[in-house]
Amino acid sequence: MKSSLITIIITNLVLYGISESLAQSILSYRSDQPMISFKLNDPIDSIILTSNDEERNITPTQDNDNDSLISEEGLDRFIDYLRRDHDEFQPQPDELVVYTPLTYFQFNRLAGFMCWGIIMGFVQCFWYKFLQIYSKDPKFIEVLRKVLTDQLCYSPISLFCFFTYGTMVLENGSWDDAKSKLSKVYLKTLIINYSVWFPIQFFNFLVVPRSFQVPFSSSISVLWNCFLSMKNSTT
């Protein structure tokens, strides 16, 4: 209670880091990706070894003297084969093998997401203090007003800011990229937000003590922020 802002900032720093780590771990595993494989499209040509204009096969059991039986023509064919341009060995378009690129943990994205958690710590601290203007109402009316105000005012703005921040800061995109992403995912994500956070915040304001309301919502936000991070990175 004496240092609620610092507590919220540290809590958000840790929980947002967990959310982003979880999101990147989930996205790095794609079971639908094809297996890495190799295919030799151009088999090695057989080399005919001749002696005295007669073709003959050389077996491993023959003596080393048979090395002299290699004709110049066969040796030249073998050298030409080794000197072929690499492009000749490329597979045809219908035989191309799809390779899965390696994925690495993006620490810069993790740092950016944790910075967003710090920013939201300041916002949440002052926002929850603002919601105390309804504290003089009867309990049920107070909780209902807090939930409606939180979801109808705070959630739309925070989602808008998150997708803008995620595109322009985490992904180094432009404002046009942010507008394109918002047009694709904003309304759908907002509807999901209402279906998730209306009951959670109602329980939070009704049952959870005031000093624990922000940590409670931040703890629930671990999975929600994981979902947002995945939504932002896959769109």
pLDDT in tens, 72-105: 666 677 666 666 654 455 555 444 555 445 456 7
Q: Which of the residue ranges 14-23, 25-34, 105-114 would you say has the lowest mean pLDDT? A: 25-34
Q: What percent of the chain has pLDDT over 90?
A: 25
Q: Average of pLDDT values for 132-155?
A: 88
In tens, the pLDDT along 179-197 reads 999 999 999 999 999 999 9
For position 71, what pLDDT does the model report?
60
Are 39 and 91 spatial neighbours (Cβ–Cβ below 8 Å)? Answer: yes
Q: Which of the residue ranges 68-72, 181-185, 208-212, 225-229 would you say has the lowest mean pLDDT? A: 68-72
Res. 31: pLDDT tops 80: no
Residues in contact with 213: Cβ distance below 8 Å, sequence separation at least 6, in sequence order? 128, 204, 205
Domain boundaries, the chain: 4-34+106-234, 49-95
For position 41, what pLDDT does the model report?
44
pTM: 0.64
For position 138, what pLDDT does the model report?
82
Res. 37: pLDDT tops 50: no
